[in-house]
Structure 1
Amino acid sequence: MPKRILKFIFIGIFSILILLIGYFYITWNSITIDENLSKQTIYKTFDHQKQESIFGGESDEIKTNNFRVKTDSLEGEYFNCHLSNNPFLKITFSAGDGYSGGGYSIDIINNRYQVSPYHYTDNIKPFTLFEDEEYYKILNTKLVLNKDSYKKGDSIFGYAELKIQKRYGPEKYFVEGKGYFKGIIQ
């Protein structure tokens, strides 16, 4: 009897593992690697430009990206780019004033990636902590990087595109973003 129970437990664990691996390969997209990406002139122009400030004008920082997001017919907005590698590579495009904002997070594991929008605010109202997040559907994404693996301190050059549907029904709208980015993995 104990051998039979162990056999069922082993089959159950093995089945769950297979399902998780299958889910990962079905829902996470494959990265395109272009080793010549860092040689494009767009990155050289970044070195001679200042980053845009959320308050208008330019900041003192050297430009690291030209990622812009356009919502239906509205003009795009400025995004910061943050790169980290703890425990996996994460590229974050964010816009906000420190009190509220949002952006898009790209998680990368084993040359596969997943894009997800996020938002934050310091103006939390009672009973809104447990509300569901806004509905979104990733329609199309593309991620091009200059190499297939990174560690802390490495330079990264990339290009990202995304198209997302937010909300549904008569309130739905579309968000499209694209741009080049560079930086050092933190």
Structure 2
Amino acid sequence: MIKTIILAAGLLLLQSCGRKKAGYPGSRLHETAETIVDSIFQRDADSLRLYGRPFYNGRYWETLEVDDQLPANSIYKKLDSTQEIFSGLELPGTTDKTMKRSSGVEHYETSRDFFDGQDHYSRDNIGSMSNCKAYIKRDTLHISIGVETGFGGSGFDIFVFGNMYITMPYHYDDILDSNEKEPFNVPLWQKLVLNKKTYSVGDSLYGYVSFGSVFYNEYGSASGQRAKGFFRAKIKEDYR
């Protein structure tokens, strides 16, 4: 069963890589791929652990795409009509209230809880409260799209080195646990489009991302992760 589902996801990835700039979101292909994520998560999350890797492992890095016309996409006009969402980590008086929304990414997390003798699944759109930040550390571009509350956070990171990238969900809280494990991820597909191949501090970054994965957090708990949408940020020197 698991081999069949992974093969199907692989075929979807190959097809999506062959698509041109004509259509980013909303295709029947992506609808099918998103269904596959939930199916894999619910049926095979435990057996997929073997394939999980941390973000710095080279197994799942892929080649990014470049589209210099990305800033002209109409989605950014829609984002201009909405005020930015600021995280709980940003101090009062340190934020620019005139800033416009940086992320239009929908990011759904499907989690599983066991009670009343059976599994129960819930899905949340983390993207509805997320913002986008980007900075350069050494030779790596780090893009972070998520929500921080001051007591924890959820979202995903994109690491770009040269023309290669990887997507990596994240989750953290303020609970100290000596049994915490290193988080790892099993990407089922991922696609990244940026408006430039290289950036410097102060540059404006525009991008589109789509990915599906099964993510295992620091407690070893699995979740289905699906995200797609456009984002933007001003490149900074550090994560602030």
Both proteins in one fold, TM over 0.5: yes
**1:185 is matched with which residue?**
235
Given the alignment of the two structures, is residue 98 of structure 1 paired with residue 150 of structure 2, yes or no?
A: yes
2:67 alignment partner, one of 11, 26, 34: 34
AA matched with 1:138? P
2:135 alignment partner, one of 64, 84, 108: 84
In 2, Cα distance between equivalents of 1:82 and 1:44: 19
After superposition, the Cα gap between the structure-2 partners of 1:173 and 1:102, relative to the gap in structure 1 and judged at 3 Å, is: closer
In 1, Cα distance between equivalents of 2:161 and 2:184: 25
**1:8 is matched with which residue?**
none
Shift of 1:102: 2.4
In 2, Cα distance between equivalents of 1:101 and 1:134: 14
**1:151 is matched with which residue?**
200
Q: Which has the higher strand share?
A: 1
Given the alignment of the two structures, is residue 137 of structure 1 paired with residue 152 of structure 2, yes or no?
A: no
Deviations 1:118-176 (A, max 9, x none): 22222213x23xx3235531111110001111111111110011101135xxx854210
Shift of 1:44: 1.9
After superposition, the Cα gap between the structure-2 partners of 1:173 and 1:27, relative to the gap in structure 1 and judged at 3 Å, is: closer
1:74 alignment partner, one of 96, 120, 123: 123
**2:225 is matched with which residue?**
175
In 1, Cα distance between equivalents of 2:103 and 2:74: 13
Shift of 1:54: 6.8
Largest Rg, 1 or 2: 1
For structure 2, the residue ranges without an aligned partner over 5 or more in a row are: 1-56, 89-95, 111-121
Shift of 1:46: 1.6
For structure 1, the residue ranges without an aligned partner over 5 or more in a row are: 1-22
Report matched runs for 1:104-143 at 5 Å: 104-125=156-177, 127-128=178-179, 131-143=180-192
Aligned residues: 154
Q: Secondary structure at the match of 1:64?
A: coil
Retained in 1: the 8 A contact 2:108–2:226?
A: yes
Shift of 1:67: 1.4
Q: Secondary structure at the match of 2:84?
A: strand
In 2, Cα distance between equivalents of 1:32 and 1:38: 14
Retained in 1: the 8 A contact 2:157–2:169?
A: yes
In 2, Cα distance between equivalents of 1:161 and 1:102: 17
Retained in 1: the 8 A contact 2:79–2:101?
A: yes
Query: Once superposed, what is the RMSD of the aligned Cα atoms?
Result: 2.4
Q: Secondary structure at the match of 1:51?
A: coil
Deviations 1:44-97 (A, max 9, x none): 222221124679xxx944111111211346241221211001212110112231
AA matched with 2:224? F
Report matched runs for 1:47-62 at 5 Å: 47-52=80-85, 60=97, 61-62=99-100
